[in-house]
Chain A
Amino acid sequence: MVQTEAYVILSMVLFAMGTLGVLLRRNAIIVFMSVELMLNAANLALVAFSRQWQGVDGQLFTFFVMTVAAAEVAVGLALIVAIFRTKQSINIDELHSMEG
């Protein structure tokens, strides 16, 4: 049986990579995909701890996270489409019209 620590370390690496993607990439869609990667990394840790403690609760939380992620992706992509209509770009750096 693979130890829970191994899964937690893998989840940590994936989460850090997702963070890098969110902070470094300028394409809004890639940023969104990096957020999905971070959510998946958190899910992996939840499922690993769920097995460790032999309780289904962690798996149910993962289920809820997936559902919320689906809603979040739908709304976020709709926002990206709406922004692209007005700005003709999804580069985050060009979306600074709300600066004071």
Chain B
Amino acid sequence: MTLEVFLFMIVGAVTIITAALMLMSDNAVHSALFLIVNFLGVAFLYLMLEAPFLAMVQIAVYAGAIMVLFLFVIMLLGAEKTGAGSHLRRFRWMAPVAIGLALVFMWAVGSALTSGQIDMQTPPATAAQVRFVHAVALPAADAESSLPADRVFVLLVNGDVVDESFAYGEASDMLDIAPGTTTLSLRETADGADLVTTTLELAGNSIQTVVLAGDEAISFYAVPQSDSAGLTVFNAYAPLPSISLGDLKGELFTDQARRVLPVGADDVPFGTYTEPLAYPADFPNWVAYIPGGLNPEPGKITAQELQQNILLRVSEFLPEMRYGENGLVIFSADRTSDGDIRPIATRFEPVFVEGFGSPVRVGQTLFTDYLLPFQMVALLLLSSMVGVIVITYRGDHTPKPSRETRRKVARPLTSVITSQTGTDLADNAPQLPERAETSAGD
């Protein structure tokens, strides 16, 4: 049993047990808490199902926002005690019918699964993405060749022309090609005979760069796209059997400090590619040199060795290459205006491979193919918000107390009026019974 199956069984058991506890718990708050654990388990299953974005949404929206709303309402209403025992009071026939329904449902799904009516075994064939790069240099001015002098070919994939004038230095767009065995061929004219024919095994969903390289014997070389950061170097420089790459340090100073640091690409034969190389952040000075030409011991490289063996200063061709990026660099031969052949390096932008179920992939699909449903869901949320306000709005509010009903406590003011008008307003005011009357009553 692999770790994944083990985790699935554990998390699946947790979701089922918490769902059962949610159903059977007497306390509604406990039910809500069990349901939160259940949702967290489902979020974990989403992670296992290559849906990290949905897993995060599940935790934030479901286990977070929705369940907080539930708990809030339960506690607002004081409805914790649900009285699980009284659930059969009115409809006694409900329980057996419900269990029967559930069993029928499970039988239906189970029989559909076992009888193979759900087609599980044939995952669909997704297209492979392939781009073609023409790295066959123009021949030297005095060279004899059976190939067309301008090295412009017609490129065919499975017998269909995909590029009618495939010239040196060109890179095609990414082409979607059905996976499986693919036949690549080159012709001088569309109707002519095949100059080169190769078959290539393309895996579904893979991303590859097919480099056309060679001098007289041209071949197709497939370089798979790497996900890891770093520089993949492909050697298409035909005049030499192999090249090496190194980081040349201290060149400007003395011979003592001059040395070549290995970068993991010693002796790369023609037609092969390296593993992704880490491109350093601190002023790299990568050079391509003839293997064995530079003395690996520090301080032993002479100026003459440098002159004779260094083919190319790679870093000059990668001005925009940053640390941590991934990319593909192809060394190829180039013909100068004098007719000489010299090496050059061409960097190809990395193809941004979005993982299945990643936020970017989901977002791209959401805002292109599903823009209308997205807007409609937004409208639905807005209208439900208005609906909630309407439902819970209390219409029978009492009016604010008006000005007239305030108590008057202005007794000192009456004495002021009395002193100014002469008439005693205080006569009408209720007064305490006088002592004289009480004595007269005696």
Query: In whole angstroms, what is the CA distance A96 to B440 when docked?
Result: 75
Is A75 a contact of B54 with CB atoms below 8 Å? no
Given A59-B362, A60-B362, A73-B70: A30 and B82 interface contact (C-beta under 8 Å): yes
Q: Residue A51 contacts which of B39, B50, B79 (CB distance < 8 angstroms)?
A: B50
Is A51 a contact of B49 with CB atoms below 8 Å? yes
Is A60 a contact of B365 with CB atoms below 8 Å? yes
Given A29-B79, A63-B366, A78-B387: A21 and B86 interface contact (C-beta under 8 Å): no
B80-127 interface (Cβ within 8 A of A):
82-84, 86-87, 89-91, 94-95, 97-99, 101-103, 105-106, 109-110, 113, 118, 120, 123-124, 126
Q: Does A1 contact B (CB under 8 A)?
A: yes
Is B70 a contact of A79 with CB atoms below 8 Å? no
Is A24 a contact of B16 with CB atoms below 8 Å? no
Chain B residues with CB below 8 A from A51, complex form: 49-51, 356-357
Which of A8, A29, A57, A93 neighbours the largest number of chain B CB atoms within 10 Å of its CB? A29
Chain B residues with CB below 8 A from A70, complex form: 61, 65-66, 381
Chain A residues with CB below 8 A from B369, complex form: 57
Is B381 a contact of A67 with CB atoms below 8 Å? yes
- Render A45-67 as a binary contact track against B, CB cut-off 8 A, 1 for contact: 00110111110110110111011
Is A20 a contact of B98 with CB atoms below 8 Å? yes
Chain B residues with CB below 8 A from A43, complex form: 42
Given A14-B19, A17-B19, A74-B385: A29 and B73 interface contact (C-beta under 8 Å): yes
A7-29 interface (Cβ within 8 A of B):
7-10, 12-21, 23-27, 29
Interface residues of chain B, those whose CB is within 8 Å of chain A, are: 4-5, 8, 12, 15-16, 19-20, 22-23, 28, 31-32, 35, 38-39, 42, 45-46, 48-51, 53-54, 57-58, 61-62, 65-66, 69-70, 73-74, 76-77, 79, 82-84, 86-87, 89-91, 94-95, 97-99, 101-103, 105-106, 109-110, 113, 118, 120, 123-124, 126, 205, 356-357, 361-362, 365-366, 369-370, 373, 377, 380-381, 384-385, 387-388, 391-392
Chain A residues with CB below 8 A from B69, complex form: 73-74, 77
Query: In whole angstroms, what is the CA distance A91 to B86 when docked?
Result: 10
Chain B residues with CB below 8 A from A29, complex form: 28, 31, 70, 73-74, 79, 82
Query: In whole angstroms, what is the CA distance A37 to B32 when docked?
Result: 11
Query: In whole angstroms, what is the CA distance A90 to B121 when docked?
Result: 47
State the main secondary structure of chain A at its contact with B. helix
7 A-B residue pairings within 8 Å (CB atoms): A12-B109, A29-B73, A30-B22, A43-B42, A59-B51, A60-B366, A68-B377
Is B23 a contact of A34 with CB atoms below 8 Å? yes
**Nearest A residue to B73 by beta-carbon distance?**
A77
Q: Tell me the minimal C-beta distance from B397 to chain A in angstroms.
A: 14
Is B124 a contact of A44 with CB atoms below 8 Å? no
Is A53 a contact of B38 with CB atoms below 8 Å? no
Q: Tell me the minimal C-beta distance from A89 to chain B in angstroms.
A: 9
Query: In whole angstroms, what is the CA distance A23 to B49 when docked?
Result: 31
Query: In whole angstroms, what is the CA distance A44 to B357 when docked?
Result: 14
Given A13-B106, A47-B49: A93 and B35 interface contact (C-beta under 8 Å): no
Is B102 a contact of A19 with CB atoms below 8 Å? yes
Is A24 a contact of B49 with CB atoms below 8 Å? no
Q: Residue A71 contacts which of B23, B98, B380 (CB distance < 8 angstroms)?
A: B380
Is B45 a contact of A62 with CB atoms below 8 Å? no
Query: In whole angstroms, what is the CA distance A2 to B365 when docked?
Result: 26
Is B51 a contact of A14 with CB atoms below 8 Å? no
Is B94 a contact of A23 with CB atoms below 8 Å? yes
Query: In whole angstroms, what is the CA distance A23 to B96 when docked?
Result: 10
Is A50 a contact of B51 with CB atoms below 8 Å? yes
Given A33-B32, A47-B51, A51-B50: A17 and B16 interface contact (C-beta under 8 Å): yes
Given A52-B120, A63-B54: A37 and B38 interface contact (C-beta under 8 Å): yes
Is B53 a contact of A84 with CB atoms below 8 Å? no
Is A26 a contact of B86 with CB atoms below 8 Å? yes
Is A44 a contact of B365 with CB atoms below 8 Å? no
Chain B residues with CB below 8 A from A57, complex form: 365, 369
Q: Residue B357 contacts which of A24, A34, A56, A82 (CB distance < 8 angstroms)?
A: A56
